[in-house]
Amino acid sequence: MAADRSYALDNIAPVRHIEDVLRLEEVAAAHPGEQGFRGPSHWMPTGRVFGGQILSQALTAASRTVPDGRFVHSLHAYFLRGGDIELPVDFSVETLRDGRSFSQRRVQAYQHGEPILSLITSFQTVDAGLQHEIRPPAGIPGPDELPTTEETLRGAPEAFRRYFTDYRAFKMRHYPSPIYVSVPKEDEDIPFQAVWIKTREALGDDPALHAAALAYASDYTTFEPILRRHGIPWAYPGLNTASLDHAMWFHRQARADEWVLYVQESPTAQGGRGLTEGRMFTQGGDLIATVAQEGLVRLPQFKPENLKKAE
């Protein structure tokens, strides 16, 4: 990406409504016997397509091919190449199996005729069975008790502030603190973080839409537990991150336009890669989904003094 495209916000439409991202048109598929869809790309300051965008669009494409009454319970995806925000993304859906209770689909996302994401996802009819779940950690303040992103970034450079506020489809409230500009010393080495998330706009009642919206949001903050452990904010000079793979298990249906608590931790970072595990809960404490992602984290000759430059 050319350097002068970074934070070029003029004449760029903000992503205020997640449904605009998930509105796919039917097109010819890449291979015979498959079903094809095309989705829009939205602006990102890196010039690369946001991983949550193609993840949620691939899930939406798959959802449109399964029998009624079947809902996603898991997805596993690999990000193969960086996507170009100036191009739409084509999706080709292959039916792997439709059984009595389960349906599996393979989805390939393409730009320039090359795959940029490969995903397998599974759907199930609602079934009765054993039930148990863990609860969220105690002591996390509610969303109304935490500062908004707008309040946190008051006084930050306008382009930086607008990207994290006006140009995102979700509201966010961080605990113990956001790491946009700096990481408070007292919040380093904390083994987890929590983020309250919900869409800026109300959504319809389709469960597939809410599942896709949560898949989109699941990729927003997955690098933050990794960066937080090392005192590195998003504003660190030259920071380069990229999602490598992403897995998500959906335990129950939930609304993405109501507050969801996303609790995350990073058990390890090695070899330029970091792993994050996360769980999503309703505001009442019910477990919605579990997330795991490995990502690439590159720093230009990491030096502690560069943290001062980011502040």
The catalytic residue positions are 219, 243, 293
Radius of gyration in angstroms for the set of CA atoms belonging to the chain, rounded to a whole number: 19
What is the rounded CA–CA span in Å between residue 35 and residue 256? 27
Residue in 39, 120, 115, 119 with CA at minimum distance from that of residue 83: 115
CB-side exposure of 247: number of CA atoms within 13 Å? 7
Residue in 225, 191, 195, 193 with CA at minimum distance from that of residue 294: 225
- Burial class of residue 72, CB neighbours in 10 A (0-12, 13-18, 19+): buried
Across the chain, how many H-helices and E-strands are there?
A: 7, 12
Q: Which amino acid is at 255?
A: R
What is the rounded CA–CA span in Å between residue 262 and residue 196? 6
With H, G, I as helix, E, B as strand and everything else as coil, classify residue 227.
helix
| Beta-carbon count within 10 A of 133 CB | 12
What is the rounded CA–CA span in Å between residue 213 and residue 18? 7
With H, G, I as helix, E, B as strand and everything else as coil, classify residue 293.
strand
Q: Which amino acid is at 223?
A: F
- Burial class of residue 118, CB neighbours in 10 A (0-12, 13-18, 19+): middle
